[in-house]
Amino acid sequence: MMAMRKEPRLIQIAWLILLTAVLAGCSRTSPARFYLLSDPPAADPKAPAAGGGRCITLGVGPVEIPEYLDRPQIVTQVSPNELRLGDFDLWAEPLAKTVMRALAENLAKLLCVEGIVFYPSESPDVDHQVIVTVTRFHGTPEGEVALAAQWHVTGAGGGKVLARKRTAIREPVEGQGYTALVAAHGRALARLSREIAETITTAPSP
């Protein structure tokens, strides 16, 4: 009779141990992964000077992004009206800042640049200022990254507007997962950089 009384208690203890283990496993969260836009490929060492003249000092920024992108999580569009946030897949720095930094790195390799000044810093020696307003920059249901931006280039001291353009780019995602998605973001931004560099190269001397 005593053995029969102890058996249910042992079963209860076993179930309690198992439930504790399951709850402990459920409480663990996946580690966060942080991403930066890829460095652009090396440019031709004979990068052209703007306007065919001397090398320039370039101002980059401000770069503005819409509020739905102004968050740590990487955003992907999954339907015409639905966005998905990567809960554990995050930008390593604010998106506007990483776009500005990557854009500057791209332009420095595409043009003959002797110095870069990042917004909000100011310098009277800036020859051209690149100002960008991003309206879209996320993955799409079609397996692409959509980048849409309005941008303009001004002359010295933020004076005369030398060019004002609108760009729309769709870059295929080559592979699966967030690493491939972020790589496509980088390639899309590199294409925008080339368009800006071509504009600066053909712009009149500031």
Handedness of CA 44, 50, 51, 53 (dihedral sign): negative
State phi, psi for 87 to the nearest 5 degrees. Answer: -60, -35
Domain-located, residue 92: yes
Q: Is residue 11 part of a domain?
A: no
103 C-beta neighbours (distance < 10 Å), count = 24
Q: For residues 36 and 85, what is the distance between their CA atoms, to the nearest angstrom?
A: 16
Strands 128-139 and 56-64: parallel
Number of domains in the chain: 1
155 in any annotated domain: yes
Q: Are 146 and 75 in contact (CB under 8 A)?
A: no
User: Does residue 5 sit within a domain?
Assistant: no
Q: Counting beta carbons within 10 angstroms of the beta carbon of residue 163, is it exposed (0 to 12), middle (13 to 18) or buried (19 or more)? A: middle
Decide if 27 is inside a domain: no
> Quick one: three-class SS letters along 21-43?
HHHHHHHCCCCCEEECCCCCCCC
| Other CB atoms within 10 Å distance of the CB of residue 117 | 17
Q: How far is CA 32 from CA 8, 26, 29, 137, in A?
A: 43, 16, 9, 21
- Grouping H, G, I as helix, E, B as strand and the rest as coil, residue 203 is coil
For 58, 107, 126, 153, 174, the CA distances from 157, given in Å and listed in that order, are 11, 19, 6, 11, 41
In this structure, is residue 191 part of a structural domain?
yes
20 within a domain of the structure (yes/no): no
User: Of 74, 41, 83, which is closest to residue 177 (Cα–Cα)?
Assistant: 74
- Residue numbers of the domain that contains 37: 33-202
CATH code of residue 193: 3.40.50.10610
Q: Which two tokens stand for residue 41?
A: 């490929």
Question: 22 in a domain, yes or no?
Answer: no
Q: How confident is the model at residue 1, as a pLDDT?
A: 46
Mean pLDDT, 10 residues at a time, the chain of 206 residues = 54 60 56 86 55 81 96 95 94 96 95 92 86 97 97 85 96 95 97 96 73
Q: Does this model's pTM top 0.75?
A: yes
pLDDT score of 11: 58
